[in-house]
């Protein structure tokens, strides 16, 4: 294969956890990705501005991926600031990387369900493929009509040799963890060491993030 394949895993990563890392590994293995870029949002128009500062989420993401040579962190959305729209990120990445590499947007099934609400979602597939995996509690059936329409037009069994344009599915063993549940546990004073990379848990404790008394 001569065309490089670059996986893109966007998220709030508030905080980054073992589910995100397992997702990136599963996508890399299933889709033969050369690299996976983790892209923390600046702030999410879907989730509001109430979360942890981007600098902390970026720092935790860096710590989480530091030991894997095939993983990188891309600051593109934090640098751009403002509301994060994936279409803007893809256009900017194409400017940086050119038209040759395949870009593969990696999504959990919760995000696929929302896809029809994303800004200029019809244009995403002009710039990237979309690779989706089933996430526990988020069925892949009965999807909203705009998403079904995209699947009808772009669904494929496997990634074609093209830079963009296909929607494919891949399988990963379920990792039942969500950042929302982690934040709630941390606020209750729990120490979920099995769900977070050790360096991330250490960062959270040193910076007193997610504590009930920290106001977040
Ligand atoms: P929250 O609970 O705050 O919504 P999250 O971890 O679901 O947090 P993000 O950090 O925005 O949300 O997730 C980034 C991407 O990782 C999304 O595509 C999401 O579907 C996927 N993802 C998150 N957790 C898991 C998991 N446990 N297994 C598979 N995919 C996951």
Inside any domain, residue 201: no
Which carries the bigger pLDDT value, residue 215 or residue 160?
160
pLDDT of residue 50: 64
Q: Is 150 helix (H, G, I), strand (E, B) or coil?
A: helix
Q: Is 178 in the pocket of ligand 1 (CB under 6 A)?
A: yes
- For the stretch 145-165, pLDDT in tens is 999 999 999 999 999 999 999
**Does residue 191 lie within any of the structural domains?**
no
d(CA 42, CA 78): 4
**57 in ligand 1 pocket by Cβ < 6 Å?**
no
Pocket lining: 26 vs ligand 1, CB cutoff 6 Å: no
Each residue's pLDDT tens digit, 2-52? 799 999 999 999 999 999 999 999 999 999 999 999 999 997 555 555 689
CATH of the domain at 116: 3.40.50.620
- Using pLDDT thresholds of 50, 70 and 90, give the confidence band for residue 135: confident
Q: Is the C-beta atom of 5 inside 6 A of ligand 1?
A: no
What is the predicted pLDDT for the residue at 1? 54
> Residue 215 above 90 pLDDT?
no
Length reported for the chain: 216
- Provide DSSP, 14-55: TT--HHHHHHHHHHHHHHT-SEEEEEE-SBBTTTBS-S--HH
**Hey, is 131 helix, strand or coil?**
strand
In short, whether 175's Cβ falls inside 6 Å of ligand 1 is: yes
- Give domain status of residue 188, yes or no: no
Q: Is 39 in the pocket of ligand 1 (CB under 6 A)?
A: no
Contacts 24+ apart (CB under 8 A), 187-191: 187/211, 187/212, 188/212
Residue 204 lies in a domain: no
Index of the ligand 1 atom closest to the CA of residue 176: 27
Average pLDDT, stretch 84-95? Answer: 96
Q: Is residue 154 part of a domain?
A: yes
The answer to whether position 200 is within a domain reads no
Are 147 and 109 in contact by the 8 Å Cβ rule? The answer is no
- Indicate whether 88 belongs to any domain: yes
- Is 84's C-beta closer than 6 angstroms to any atom of ligand 1? no
| Ligand 1 atom closest to the CA of 13, numbered from 1 | 10
Domain of residue 47, residue span: 5-175
- Mean pLDDT of all residues in 118-124: 95
Take residue 147 and report the two structure tokens written for it: 């998403």
Q: Per residue in 45-89, pLDDT tens? A: 555 556 899 999 999 999 999 999 999 999 999 999 888 899 999
Strand positions, DSSP E, the chain: 5-11, 35-40, 71-73, 102-108, 129-133, 167-170
Residue 51's pLDDT is: 83
Q: Is residue 155 part of a domain?
A: yes
Take atom 15 of ligand 1 and give the residue whose Cα is closest. Answer: 11
- Output the pLDDT for position 84: 86
Q: Which of 14, 84, 135 to mutate to test the pocket of ligand 1 (most atoms within 8 A of CB)?
A: 135
pLDDT value for 47:
58
Q: Is the CB of 111 under 6 A from ligand 1?
A: yes
Task: Take atom 26 of ligand 1 and give the residue whose Cα is closest.
Answer: 19
**The pTM is what?**
0.95
Question: What's the total number of domains in the chain?
Answer: 1
User: Considering only CA atoms, which of 109, 133, 125 is closest in space to residue 28?
Assistant: 133
Rounded average pLDDT over 100-115:
95
Q: Which pLDDT does position 49 carry in this prediction?
A: 52
């Amino acid at each position: 294969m001569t065309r490089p394949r670059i996986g893109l895993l966007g998220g709030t990563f508030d905080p980054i956890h073992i589910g995100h890392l397992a997702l990136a590994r599963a996508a890399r293995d299933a889709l033969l990705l050369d690299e996976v870029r983790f892209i923390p949002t600046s702030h999410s128009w879907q989730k509001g501005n109430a979360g942890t500062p981007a600098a902390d989420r970026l720092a935790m993401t860096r710590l989480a991926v530091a030991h894997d040579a095939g993983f990188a962190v891309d600051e593109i959305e934090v640098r751009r600031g403002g509301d994060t729209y994936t279409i803007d990120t893809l256009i900017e990445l194409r400017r940086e990387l050119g038209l040759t590499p395949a870009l593969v947007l990696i999504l959990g099934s919760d995000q696929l369900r929302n896809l029809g609400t994303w800004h200029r979602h019809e244009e995403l597939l002009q710039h990237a493929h979309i690779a989706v995996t089933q996430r526990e509690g988020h069925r892949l059936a009965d999807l909203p009509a705009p998403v079904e329409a995209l699947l009808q037009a772009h669904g494929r069994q496997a990634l074609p040799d093209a830079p963009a344009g296909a929607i494919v599915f891949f399988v990963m063993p379920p990792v039942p963890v969500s950042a929302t549940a982690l934040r709630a546990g941390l606020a209750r004073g729990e120490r979920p060491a099995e769900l977070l990379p050790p360096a991330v848990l250490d960062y959270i404790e040193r910076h007193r993030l997610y504590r009930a008394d920290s106001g977040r």
